[in-house]
Amino acid sequence: MKSTARFRNVRPFSLSLLVFATITGVRGLGNVSIKVPLAVANGSTVNMLCSFNLESDTLYTVKWYKGLQEFFRYVPKEMPHITVFGPLASKVDITHSNQHNLILKDVQHDLAGRYRCEVSADAPSFHTELLSSYMHVVTLPQGNPSIHVEKLRYAVGDTVRGNCTVPPGNPTSNVTWTVNEHRVNSSFLSNISANTGENLQITIAGLDFEIIPDSFSNGRLHITCRANLFHLYQAEADIILEEERPRLASVLGTRESSYIGTAAKRSEDWIYMGVVVNLILCGLR
Ligand SMILES: *[C@@H]1O[C@H](CO)[C@@H](O)[C@H](O)[C@H]1NC(C)=O
Ligand SMILES: *[C@@H]1O[C@H](CO)[C@@H](O)[C@H](O)[C@H]1NC(C)=O
Ligand SMILES: *[C@@H]1O[C@H](CO)[C@@H](O)[C@H](O)[C@H]1NC(C)=O
Ligand SMILES: *[C@@H]1O[C@H](CO)[C@@H](O)[C@H](O)[C@H]1NC(C)=O
Ligand SMILES: *[C@@H]1O[C@H](CO)[C@@H](O)[C@H](O)[C@H]1NC(C)=O
Ligand SMILES: *[C@@H]1O[C@H](CO)[C@@H](O)[C@H](O)[C@H]1NC(C)=O
């Protein structure tokens, strides 16, 4: 309110000066930029930056808002220069904050939101610039993701079904799968609320794909699940699945029926070979 009143009083004067400045090439407040981290872990200390060049202007105020609420004001003409307001007041590290830097301590989830810095030049221009940026506050998962699959050996035509579980965090993690370095989409994604009383979510991503002859590389499937939460958490889990090859042992052993079932899916040659092997074995007895 105070600045608006001042603004109104001096407007004709400042307008003529603005014209003068434009003609003579004298520049004022400019190059305003804001640096707010995209995401921070809860409990951390955050440094937000509002930089600007004053050139021929003098600084009147720097104000910081979260949403619509002003919580920090720097006024060079007043002592002390810094005043803090509202619920964020206790979070501001006043001794280390200044006209360019705003330091917030022990940031928790309620501090997630849009931050705005507003810089005003003093008379005569009263030029004001404002910029804003959003900050997420995350709770990092403790530990690595884990992969679960139904079994470790597969043949062409089989379907690999499994899932990757990321420990509780907030928000949910992004999960990507690769099979022998090729991206594979998750078949499902679910968020399960962790029973911790906090708003933490366990992220589960499903894997479901049918194996074709090209799937294997040297008889192996190298499956990786990578989880990340912004740039703050990056972790992965991997597992090696092997190609199930028909072996003599499986003809003789208890897994005979599953061997034939698998062989039938592959090609009739395999069935034929199985029969031949059986005939040879019968002949040997
Ligand atoms: C903004 O920055 C550029 C280069 O950094 C500089 O040439 C220019 O004079 C600056 N403008 C103002 C108004 O400070
Ligand atoms: C972050 O939040 C989690 C859950 O809300 C809590 O358990 C943990 O203590 C917090 N960590 C810090 C450093 O505040
Ligand atoms: C994850 O995979 C394991 C092993 O196949 C299975 O037992 C479990 O039910 C799966 N969980 C989900 C949520 O799909
Ligand atoms: C994976 O998902 C993306 C985006 O949803 C889609 O464009 C793409 O076709 C999918 N790829 C496969 C192999 O399903
Ligand atoms: C999981 O949570 C994310 C955001 O945290 C949301 O975008 C997504 O829709 C949720 N998925 C499910 C299946 O609830
Ligand atoms: C997840 O990925 C999307 C797309 O790359 C990105 O916009 C989003 O910020 C990511 N979310 C998290 C929590 O890392």
Note the pLDDT tens digit of each residue in 224-243: 999 999 999 999 999 999 99
Does position 116 have pLDDT exceeding 90, yes or no?
yes
Tokens of 89: 């007041």
pLDDT tens-digit readout, 51-99? 999 888 899 999 999 999 999 999 999 999 999 999 999 999 999 999 9
Provide CATH code, domain 28-138: 2.60.40.10
| Model confidence band, residue 196 (pLDDT cutoffs 50, 70, 90) | confident
How confident is the model at residue 28, as a pLDDT? 82
- Residue located via tokens 């089989």: 158
pLDDT above 90 as % of the chain: 67
Cα of 229 vs centre of ligand 6, distance in Å, is 7
The answer to whether 149 touches 32, Cβ cutoff 8 Å, is: no
Residue minimizing CA distance to atom 2 of ligand 1: 31
Report the C-alpha gap between 65 and 225 in whole angstroms: 40
Which ligand 5 atom is the nearest neighbour of the CA of 188?
13
Spans of all domains in the chain: 28-138, 146-245
Provide CATH code, domain 146-245: 2.60.40.10
Contacts of 260 (CB under 8 A, 6+ apart): 271, 274
Q: Judge whether 28-138 and 146-245 match in fold.
A: yes
pLDDT tens-digit readout, 154-184? 999 999 999 999 999 999 999 999 999 999 9
Which ligand 3 atom is the nearest neighbour of the CA of 206?
14
Q: Is 180 in the pocket of ligand 2 (CB under 6 A)?
A: no
Query: What lines the ligand 3 site, CB under 6 Å?
Result: 148-150, 162-163, 204, 206
Residue minimizing CA distance to atom 2 of ligand 6: 174
Looking at all shown ligands, the one closest to residue 187's CA atom is 4
- Residue located via tokens 């400042």: 14
